[in-house]
Amino acid sequence: MSPVLNDMLEHQVAPRLSHAARTIPKVGHEDDEEITQDATLMAARMMDSAEKAGRRFTAGNMVWYATKAARSGRRSYYTGRSDAMSPGCQLDGKARHEWLDESVETEFGDIGTLHEVVSCHPYQGQEPDPSEEAARNLDWEAFMAAHPPRHRIAILALAEGGTMREAGKRCGIKDSAALILKRRIATDLIEFFGEDVIRRLLDGVKPSWESDLRSARERHACHTTSTTKPTTTCLK
């Protein structure tokens, strides 16, 4: 965008949008300041597009179009109306957001929070982390691909609860060779994954996300109030 339009945006468009923000419907935690910033970004995009197309316009034109777009529920990050998180969808009355901490009555007549209704069984610290499992699988695939088939056969046998002697039989080698293979696998594992990672696994050290999640569950159980509440979406 040219310097002239930059000056127009800063000194003519933005102040007018700030004044008009109070008339724009808001959803969720939106406020006048956030609406002003979002509408200013939409106006900047309109001005840049019009300038590239060689069209003439005034600051009042941009303020009118940006305000109209924001008032209809459009935002700079999403202009559609089918997403339940979209302000436009909520302004149309097609979706509403409910606080997870809001009290509700369960089908058994008990009073609880919406979070307790939609959440899974209580966390016991044993649920696997999907991202951690995916990363672990990728690492194992890379490890297996870089070593002979005997490594894979032996590791699978051990993972199934077998002994190294049984793994040796599957590989077609004797006990002495199986022992050498075991030491070789151990050395390769430490070299590939790192001694620190192996030690943490052997010591049973849990990833930090588990303690963070456990702390969050404990805070929720104590009904600690928060200024920013999580929301859930319920379609009508």
pLDDT averages per 10-residue partition of the chain, 236 residues: 90 93 85 92 92 91 92 81 77 75 69 65 55 78 86 86 87 88 88 79 58 59 48 45
Which residue bears the tokens 């959440």? 119
Domain that includes residue 109, residue range: 97-125+226-235
Judge whether 219 lies within some domain.
no
Among 40, 68, 92, which residue terminates a domain? 92
Structure tokens at 2: 């040219």
Same structural domain for residues 47 and 76?
Answer: yes
Judging by DSSP bridges, how do beta strands 231-235 and 95-99 pair with one another? antiparallel
**Measured at the alpha carbon of residue 82, what is the angle toward residues 79 and 83, in degrees to the nearest 5?**
80
Judge whether 171 lies within some domain.
yes
User: Phi and psi of 92, rounded to 5°?
Assistant: -75, -10
Judge whether 217 lies within some domain.
no
Residue 47: predicted pLDDT: 93
Judge whether 214 lies within some domain.
no
Number of domains in the chain: 3
211: exposed, middle or buried (C-beta count within 10 Å: 0-12, 13-18, 19+)?
Answer: exposed
Residue 46: predicted pLDDT: 93
Judge whether 86 lies within some domain.
yes
